[in-house]
Amino acid sequence: MRTNVSARRKVALQVVAGVATALFTGLIISSIEISRHLPDLVRGWLSRQYNGSVQIGDFHVTTNFLQLEFQADNVAVLFQGREDLPPVIAMRKLTLSTSVPGLLHIPARIHSVIIDGLQINVPPRTGARDAQGARSFMRRSRQVRFDEIRADRAVLKILPHDPQKAPHEFDIGELQLFSTGPDGALAFHAHLKNPSPPGEITSSGVFGPWNVEKPSLTPVRGSYLFANANLGVFNGIAGILSSEGKYQGVLERIEVGGTTDTPDFQVTRAGNAVDLKTTFAATVDGTDGNTYLHPVVSRFEKTVLVAQGKIERTPGKPGRTVTLEVTIDQGRIEDLLTLTVRGRPPMTGPVQLKTAFVVSPGRENILDRLGLDSAFVMHSMHFTDPAAQQRVDNMSVRSEGRPQDVKSPQEVTSTDDVAAAVSGKFRLAKGTVTLSAVQFQIPGAQIQISGAYTLAGEDLDLRGKLKMQAPLSRTTTGIKSVLLRIADPFFSKDGHTELPIKVTGSVNHPHYALDLHRKPEKIADSSK
């Protein structure tokens, strides 16, 4: 009996040993065969993955028992075999590490891929959008999964439809990817330096599955953090910007939403810093890099600014043109002047504004490249300079025929301030503000004025007319009043007094005077 049991054990051990030997021998043979055909396997997978013909320069395979390593130089995939386009995938050096069991597994498993000099050139889409290419790729991509893909100094270029235009380019310093599931999508973490404005960007998300037929429709989603961006590289502004947000879409059209914070933003010509915060929603056209804003909400001090428009390439010029429609329903004039005028803002009060905003590309100061076409309304404006405000207050009481109520600077208190209602239009071009149809109204008087204001020198040259409720002789007392009775008929019009005036000097030290040498027709023109 014992002899039979021993015999059976011996036979079982022999069977197990035979199976193990056969399995081991099979793995060795498989390892040899796979190592021989690994270049063809890589070439075939790349061809199916990216729908193109594959070119591989020098390569070699290293085998260490069941571990395999494939190294190749100058790997390129031509999309659909087209030589008129840059390779959809180009790698200066590819190193792929796997194992025989990993390759025999379903799906096949690649432990590590290291790429040096990766460049992805996404060809422009032709024809209508569809998801068939993505679904086709999903069926194929179930055959391979990646534990890690690492690429340094990678470049993503999205080629435009017009071959004469430059591609939209993303330089990615460090890139890590790994498979997330059977559909071929890859989770990623990227770190890159933004060239302009210079700053650090980190981003994580999911890329793919790769759309074999229409690569530009490959989906992407993720989040980003942009830190320490120095706005000082743009001539005319300064500040350190940070931004964070999320994005999703396909490579040729990505929807982005996020926030920015620039606690020390300033227009350098004015030199006053404000804490500028924005929230935004935008669409980025990956084929040309144009960005469409809808909308951007900016907040600084007590002002809320809403803008929508686009940032687009300028044909024949480097850089981009910013075109926006800007609305301010909740604003303060002193906040706006803080950005454009040196020192203390000369005016204060609520303001409503609508403007067409254009910044052309170039290296000149931003105020020289900025164009505005605006209409504004201020219902309660005061001057911050006590002397200027006193002149307005005294003008009001004189215009009402109460010259006895005129006060000296020592007698004026803040409760005496007269609020002015101001409205009008202005245009900014090449650093000069042109005012038109400006109405300045206080109790007893109305001023209609137009002219120009240069931002560089802060020089004023405004002309217009002053309408007063009272006759000229009743704006003063004593002998002046008696003498001015002679002039009343000459300046009387439709029951009120009308005088030609001018405002010169600087915005902080304006000089008001009669403009008696101006011809009557010029007076009429100034109110238009």
Give the helix ranges, DSSP H, for 419-504. 478-484, 488-491
Q: Is residue 503 part of a domain?
A: yes
Q: Is residue 504 part of a domain?
A: yes
Name 467's Cβ contacts closer than 8 Å, sequence gap at least 6: 445, 446, 447, 448, 496, 497, 498
Q: Is residue 155 part of a domain?
A: no
Measured at the CA of 360, the angle between CA 341 and CA 194, to 5 degrees, comes to: 95
Structure tokens at 193: 């330096």
Q: Is residue 488 part of a domain?
A: yes
Tens-binned pLDDT, residue by residue, of the chain (528 aa):
555 556 656 555 554 544 444 444 444 444 444 555 567 777 788 888 788 888 888 888 787 777 878 888 898 888 888 888 888 888 899 888 888 777 777 777 888 888 898 888 888 776 544 444 444 444 444 467 888 889 888 888 888 777 767 777 778 888 898 887 767 788 999 888 777 778 888 999 998 888 888 888 889 999 999 988 888 877 788 889 899 999 999 988 899 999 999 999 988 878 889 999 999 999 988 777 788 888 899 999 999 999 999 888 776 666 778 888 999 998 999 998 888 888 888 889 999 999 898 888 777 777 778 888 899 999 999 988 888 888 888 889 989 999 898 887 666 665 668 899 999 998 888 888 888 889 999 999 999 989 988 877 778 888 999 999 999 889 888 888 888 888 888 888 888 889 898 888 887 777 878 877 665 444 444 444
Q: Are 275 and 303 in contact (CB under 8 A)?
A: no
Nearest to 221 by CA among 244, 246, 248: 248
Q: Are 268 and 105 in contact (CB under 8 A)?
A: no
The total number of structural domains that make up the chain: 1
Q: Are 109 and 148 in contact (CB under 8 A)?
A: no
Contacts for 496-500: CB closer than 8 Å, 24+ residues apart: 496/467, 496/468, 496/469, 497/466, 497/467, 497/468, 497/469, 497/470, 497/471, 497/472, 498/465, 498/466, 498/467, 498/468, 498/523, 499/465, 499/466, 499/468, 499/472, 500/463, 500/464, 500/465, 500/466
Q: Are 151 and 190 in contact (CB under 8 A)?
A: no
Q: Is residue 311 part of a domain?
A: no
Rounded to whole angstroms, how far apart are CA atoms 504 and 247? 51
Overall pTM surpassing 0.85 (yes/no): no
* DSSP one-letter string for 366-425: HHHHEEEEEEEEEEEEEESSHHHHHHHHHHHHHHTT-GGG---TTT--GGGPPPEEEEEE
Q: Is residue 103 part of a domain?
A: no
Rounded to whole angstroms, how far apart are CA atoms 53 and 9? 57
Which residues constitute the domain of residue 507?
Answer: 385-526
Rounded to whole angstroms, how far apart are CA atoms 77 and 86? 9
Q: Is residue 449 part of a domain?
A: yes
Q: Is residue 12 part of a domain?
A: no
